[in-house]
Amino acid sequence: MPNPNSIFLTKFLIFIVFLLQSINCQADVIALEKADSLFQQRSYKEAMEIYQNNYQLGIYSPAMLLKMSFISEGIGDKEHATLYLSKYYDLSPNSQTITKIKSLTGQTNLVGYEVSDGERFILFLVEYQEIIVGSLSLFLLISLIMLWINGRKIAEARYYWPSILLIVLIFAANNFLRAPRTALITQSPTMIVSKPSAGGELIARVEPGHRVKIKSSKDIWYEVEWKNKIAYIKKNNVTRL
């Protein structure tokens, strides 16, 4: 029979790893609070630097994306203003956002902004990923304490399954919880073709503002979904969301 104390030590070390990740996330939250303070003081350049650093790390909120879009539009960078609004739309879809994107891009009929209920649920989980991981880590700590207290009395493996399940859920939330891969068309004009080559049949010739779902990557091409059909687009014509 496995030694309860050795099992506890292994789980405790795993918990420490997750705890360090949570501490790092807390540092990011503090940085965002500083950026929000700078934004309120109209120190937009300094605030934008912090926002962009966190955005590159995948740390953002709907409010942060709106502020980034506001700053970008203010300096005449409509491409990035549209990019941040498009990402904001995934988290908080509404008609006003679409209207604003149409205004920024000069487009009247935008493709690729339809989001299914399943995709919205995944996006919801991604938005609250830190809270989910933190809550699971707390439950794991409680379970480890209970195992430590009752370790000598517990002889059956079934008592360890809750802790094992929590470890698996935390690992999955940290490493596999990702939003669907989408991209914003940012070049004018952009050719969408039937094959990943210059000889592919032209499906559409579009302007910036439309979005595509990325299926896979092939050399300089993305395999994408365009109006419910498989198509191809050059990577340098789009910006990943």
Q: Which of 73, 36, 60 is nearest to 241 (CA)?
A: 60
* Alpha helices, DSSP H, located in the chain: 4-40, 44-56, 62-74, 78-91, 95-105, 117-127, 129-150, 161-175
Residue owning tokens 């030694």: 3
Q: State pLDDT tens for residues 156-213.
A: 555 667 777 888 888 888 777 776 788 999 988 899 999 998 788 999 999 999 999 9
What pLDDT is stored for residue 23 in this prediction?
Answer: 47
Q: Which residues of 150-174 are buried (b: 16+ CB within 10 A; e: fewer)?
A: eeeeeeeeebbeebeebbeebeebb
**φ, ψ dihedrals at 177, nearest 5°:** -80, 100
In whole angstroms, give the CA distance from residue 65 to residue 70: 9
Q: State pLDDT tens for residues 17-26.
A: 555 555 455 5
DSSP line for 216-236: EEETTEEEEEETTEEEEEEGG
pTM over 0.75: no
Among 61-75, 165-179, 221-235, the range scoring the smallest mean pLDDT is 165-179
Domain limits of the chain?
182-240
Overall fold of domain 182-240: SH3 type barrels. (2.30.30)
